[in-house]
Structure 1
Amino acid sequence: MSEKTIKFGLVGAGGIAQAYVQAFGQSEVAELAAIADVRAEAASAMAETAGCRSFRSHQEMIANTELDAVVVCTPPSTHPDICIDLVQQGKHVLCEKPFSITIQSALDMKAAAQEMGVLLTMASKFRYAEDVIRAKSIVESGILGEIVLFENAFTSRVDMSDRWNADPAISGGGVLIDNGTHSVDIMRYFLGPLSEIHVVEGKRTQHLAVEDTVRIFAQSKTGVMGNVDLSWSINKELDYYLRIYGSEGTISVGWKESKYRQSSSQGWVVFGRGYNKVQSFRSQIENFSKAILKQEPLLIAVEDAIASVEAIEAAYRSLDRDHWTPISSFMAESAMAFA
């Protein structure tokens, strides 16, 4: 272990928490010390696997465990209350996406963290995928020329009929906020601030109270176009989830392989071995831990988290009105992080 290990608590023992347990098991700078969930049996079972303590609530966990930081993996509607409570007790907080359902609650979360002098930000696993980071370097090198078009697809058949993700009172919406939060964050990572967005809904084949298939069109402030396909009801059968087209070449980030090709070359150059979920989560908690230790900056700052909420709010306004919608900015763009 390193000289200083950041001790974490985990709030929420659902599916996404399983990936964090695996990631903590592989980290030398972050240690999982406790898990809390209102479902005591779920917390206990996960804690037994992780070799740590379990509690019925985050308040009970904080009162009985020495922690430096907490990962919040609860449904989105609970994020503001839990995160504000945690930061007011001096804990650094890594909050799962979507950061919050409304921009006002996101700003309240940020203000509470600033007042206490602790770190608070959004978890967004794809920003920590090794192939995505390498792709950003390749794009920035200029070998693909001027970027013209960004494409992303997160489509997979999943029965959402009995899941909280499809309850708008809990989730804030459907596939647009659930998967689209990743999409707008990745788009901003590559293209910089977004200026406007247009969302079109597809047929609701699952008969949910929320959208299960959408297409997003967006434009960056530098004029680059982006389009995103999101669905819980279809699988596009693509071997990539991200493709960027430049005037001099194309880059493709895939589930099993990532590659690029310059227009002057007939062959593709492989630069990555695909998406590794545990690696992404481990890198995420380690970046957060090292930021706490002041050893490196956060890859995703709280300003990025708020920008994602702004973009999704604008996306829903567009969906309601069926036209291009500007993305308002409550934060100074100069504060945005695009490392």
Structure 2
Amino acid sequence: MLEDLQQHWPRAANPKPIVIFGAGSIVTDAHLPAYANAAYPVAGLYDPDLEKARAVAQTHGIKAFSSPEEATGQAGAIFDLATPPDAHAGILSMLPQGAAVLLQKPMGSDLEGASEILKICRERELLAAVNFQLRFAPMMLALRDAVNRGLLGEIVDFDAWLALDTPWGLWKFLEPLPRVEISLHSIHYLDFIRGLLGDPSGVHAKSMGHPSSRIAQTRTAAILDYGDTVRCALSINHNHAFGRKHQACEFRICGTKGAAYLQLGVNLDYPRGEPDILEINTGDGWRSIELDGSWFPDAFTSRMSQLQRVATGEEEHLISGVEDAWYTMALVEAAYESSAAPATPIARKPQ
């Protein structure tokens, strides 16, 4: 049964053209390669930096729109917002009524921003999904398929362990931001956990920076409260700069019948990365699952495929739509509130 686990979302039979907002590295490294792999048509892209937009468009043989009005005027398109979170609301307000749109995560800079985005999407009746594409990585789709088939039994433990040397210097724009690690990185893990285990009742979290970094937070410890049956913990350290030997980027998921181990390779030796790994033990020893593709860019292909298929009527249920993604943002907000709150004090002397 492990040989035929789902790893890719079915391609849309009659895809709509895609209009991209943004021309940054995520577009050139993930979005455009992903859509080319699926042969999805890209009508063009827009970026306020018109010179950069034209250069990217020329490289990929697509059109560079000269204004946001020209870009949003493409009737019948799916709009792909690879833009900063504080830019989402303004672009959404310009989209045609009822349009299909994919929003880069996070869904706004904070929960207030997410609520504004949700309000706009409801008012304009947008078919809007958030690009929480980790759910669609080949290894994660395979894991979810194994869980859905009952191969692991009831999930009782989820551990995320990251000890990395993340090159924060690649993203200078992060330095002035008040929220970074949870809202821009671990949000992927929190969203994936929600998709697998459902919504926790609460969260205990502590997120902090590091003396070697100008980034507001680069280390996080968190516990998600799923009652007295499921234990869910995350240990995230982006400052483990002591060589590859003891670095890690892995999940361990244990159930009542089996367990799974995953390595998220892209985060190791970023941006070159290492292979993704999925191993599953259903009671008869560990078996390595041969993966067809990796998080980048294959998850972006499957994420767009799922939205395309809903937009074209091939599927009914939108995964990671804004209605659901709001709860991921609520979990992020709660984690930051927990981090800012004092811990339970310890008695200093006997009574």
TM-score by length of 2: 0.81
CA distance in 2, matches of 1:317, 1:176: 12
Q: Residue 95 in 1 paired to residue 92 in 2?
A: no
Contact 2:107 2:117 in 1 (8 A): no
**One-letter amino acid of the counterpart of residue 271, structure 1:** I
Structure 1 partner of 2:277: 257
CA distance in 1, matches of 2:227, 2:312: 34
Further displaced range: 54-63 or 94-103: 54-63
Unaligned 5+ segments in structure 2 are 1-10, 266-275, 345-351
- CA shift, 1:187, in A, is 0.5
Correspondence list, 1:63-102, <5 A: 63=73, 65-86=74-95, 89-102=97-110
In the superposition, relative to structure 1, how do residues 2 and 133 fare at CA in structure 2: closer, same or farther (>3 Å)?
closer
Q: Deviations over 1:172-210 (max 9, x none)?
A: 611111112101111111111111111123551334251
Unaligned 5+ segments in structure 1 are 325-339
Contact 1:198 1:323 in 2 (8 A): no
Structure 2 partner of 1:299: 319
**One-letter amino acid of the counterpart of residue 62, structure 1:** T
- CA shift, 1:228, in A, is 1.7
SS at match of 1:54: coil
SS at match of 2:223: strand
Between the two proteins, the alignment pairs up a number of residues equal to: 315
Structure 1 partner of 2:62: 52
In the superposition, relative to structure 1, how do residues 321 and 277 fare at CA in structure 2: closer, same or farther (>3 Å)?
same
CA distance in 1, matches of 2:332, 2:94: 25
CA distance in 2, matches of 1:139, 1:41: 47
Structure 2 partner of 1:328: none
CA distance in 1, matches of 2:169, 2:235: 18
Q: Residue 39 in 1 paired to residue 57 in 2?
A: no
- CA shift, 1:221, in A, is 5.8
Structure 1 partner of 2:128: 120
Correspondence list, 1:195-274, <5 A: 195-202=201-208, 204-208=210-214, 210-220=216-226, 223-234=229-240, 237-238=247-248, 241-254=250-263, 255=265, 256-262=276-282, 264-265=283-284, 267-273=285-291
Q: Residue 166 in 1 paired to residue 175 in 2?
A: yes
SS at match of 2:158: strand
Correspondence list, 1:170-185, <5 A: 173-185=179-191
CA distance in 1, matches of 2:318, 2:102: 11
In the superposition, relative to structure 1, how do residues 276 and 103 fare at CA in structure 2: closer, same or farther (>3 Å)?
closer
Q: Deviations over 1:120-147 (max 9, x none)?
A: 1200111111221121122233333332
Q: Residue 282 in 1 paired to residue 295 in 2?
A: no
Q: Residue 4 in 1 paired to residue 22 in 2?
A: no
CA distance in 1, matches of 2:175, 2:188: 17
Q: Residue 315 in 1 paired to residue 335 in 2?
A: yes
In the superposition, relative to structure 1, how do residues 45 and 241 fare at CA in structure 2: closer, same or farther (>3 Å)?
farther
CA distance in 1, matches of 2:235, 2:53: 35
Q: Deviations over 1:301-329 (max 9, x none)?
A: 222210111011001101111449xxxxx
In the superposition, relative to structure 1, how do residues 312 and 166 fare at CA in structure 2: closer, same or farther (>3 Å)?
farther
SS at match of 1:206: coil
Structure 1 partner of 2:141: 133
Contact 1:179 1:230 in 2 (8 A): no
In the superposition, relative to structure 1, how do residues 90 and 303 fare at CA in structure 2: closer, same or farther (>3 Å)?
closer
Contact 1:80 1:106 in 2 (8 A): no
CA distance in 2, matches of 1:3, 1:311: 35
Contact 1:153 1:228 in 2 (8 A): yes
Further displaced range: 155-164 or 247-256: 155-164
Contact 1:200 1:214 in 2 (8 A): yes
Correspondence list, 1:141-152, <5 A: 141-152=149-160
Contact 1:13 1:36 in 2 (8 A): yes
In the superposition, relative to structure 1, how do residues 271 and 44 fare at CA in structure 2: closer, same or farther (>3 Å)?
same
**One-letter amino acid of the counterpart of residue 103, structure 2:** C
- CA shift, 1:162, in A, is 5.4
Contact 1:102 1:309 in 2 (8 A): yes
Same amino acid, percent of matched pairs: 22
**RMSD of Structure 2 on Structure 1 (CA):** 2.5
Question: Which has the higher Rg, Structure 1 or Structure 2?
Answer: 2
Contact 1:185 1:304 in 2 (8 A): no
Q: Deviations over 1:254-309 (max 9, x none)?
A: 233211113x43x2122242634222111111111111012112222222210111
**One-letter amino acid of the counterpart of residue 24, structure 1:** Y
